[in-house]
Amino acid sequence: MGRLWFFIREAFRALRRNAAPSLAAIVTTIVTVILLGVLIPVLQTAQAKSDEVRSSLELRVAVFDDATKAEIASLREDLAVIPNVSSVGFVSKAEALRELKADLEDDTLTAQLNSNPLPANFVVKADDAANLDAIRQAITPPGPSGEPQPISPVIESVFDRSEERGEIEQVTGALRIVLLVITGLLLIASLMLIGNTIRLSIYTRRREVEVMRLVGATRWFIRWPFMIEGVLVGFVGGAVAILILWLGKVTIVDPLSDTFALVAAQDQTTLSFPLLVAILFASAVLVSALGSGVTLRRFLRV
């Protein structure tokens, strides 16, 4: 225990004697943690909204008006057993008209209708938007003549927003790649930035390390104060950064979440704010401590 307190005192003494490099390391940790604390929720929210848009893509299987209840029930069973189909819902003619009225802000067009021209239809959702084409082919496979032939005679047509679906598939696919690249680059840059700052701090004290080695101090006897110093730098930097993130959440994010759905979506992400700050704080302390220990190795070769 006495040796531990000695190491802690040495770490505080080193922080006071090398205020400028230590402050630089703390500021670097603060900036890095804030960047990660802002970017990770943004990436999570963007990914969640992307998945939500993709999950809303669907196929509509319209049926003839004279289809019987038995034929409709049989078709429902046939659609449900198609591979990659996650759910099958039925929309009556009246419900289809209500959907149209809800989609149209101006009800002038629907008010002029003397009858309901919309067909009853099944809403077929896929387990993944990329499987919609395969499901369509299963619903209308090639017949003897080679032309698409529906699996049931009561099927009038199969339709979806194919142009919109293609654009959404392209955008969400590109978004996933961009988000992964940005996340990877930021993590690498953050580790390098913190590591270089700690390396600069230790470089200014290399003579002190060399003298300690020459007088017979063991490697771990020299390393422990530096690692404790790294823990302190990470602790202070992480604590200040988390305080700033919390203030930003309370004063900016939470008030905007009542107005903007995209901002509110961050509350439904898998990584909650308390868990996020806990991970960021632990990472800041761990990276600073390991950075000090690893960087010190080259100066221990005397």
Q: If you average pLDDT over residues 13-23, what whole number do you get?
A: 70
- Residue with the bigger pLDDT between 248 and 8: it is 248
Residue 220, pLDDT > 60, answer: yes
Residue 92, pLDDT > 50, answer: yes
- Cα-Cα-Cα-Cα torsion 263, 268, 270, 273, nearest 10 degrees, comes to 60
Residue 91, pLDDT > 70, answer: yes
Q: What local confidence, expressed as pLDDT, does residue 262 receive? A: 47
Q: What is the rounded distance in angstroms from the CA atom of residue 301 to the CA atom of residue 81? A: 68
Q: What is the rounded distance in angstroms from the CA atom of residue 148 to the CA atom of residue 152? A: 12
Q: What local confidence, expressed as pLDDT, does residue 30 receive? A: 86
The rounded percent of the chain whose pLDDT value lies above 70 is 64
Cβ within 8 Å of residue 222, ≥6 positions away? 209, 212, 213, 296, 300
Q: What local confidence, expressed as pLDDT, does residue 295 receive? A: 65
Residue 15, pLDDT > 70, answer: no
Q: What is the rounded distance in angstroms from the CA atom of residue 241 to the CA atom of residue 37? A: 9
Please write the tens of the pLDDT for every residue from 58-67.
Answer: 888 889 888 8
Domain residue limits, the chain? 2-52+169-300, 58-160
Sign of CA dihedral 213, 216, 219, 223: negative
The rounded percent of the chain whose pLDDT value lies above 90 is 1
Cβ within 8 Å of residue 183, ≥6 positions away? 39, 40, 43
- Residue with the bigger pLDDT between 98 and 296: it is 98
Q: What is the rounded distance in angstroms from the CA atom of residue 112 to the CA atom of residue 257? A: 40
Please write the tens of the pLDDT for every residue from 104-142.
Answer: 666 665 566 677 778 889 988 888 777 888 888 888 888
Q: Specify which residues 158 forms β-bridges with.
A: 61
Model confidence at 174, pLDDT cuts 50, 70, 90, reads confident
Which helix H or strand E contains 298, and what residues bound it? none
Residue 22, pLDDT > 70, answer: yes
The CATH class of the 58-160 domain is alpha beta
Residue 33, pLDDT > 80, answer: yes
DSSP letter for 250, please: I
- Residue with the bigger pLDDT between 231 and 265: it is 231
Please write the tens of the pLDDT for every residue from 230-264.
Answer: 788 888 888 998 999 888 888 877 676 655 544 55
Model confidence at 53, pLDDT cuts 50, 70, 90, reads low
Q: If you average pLDDT over residues 186-198, what whole number do you get?
A: 67
Residue 78, pLDDT > 70, answer: yes
- Average per-residue pLDDT in the chain? 75
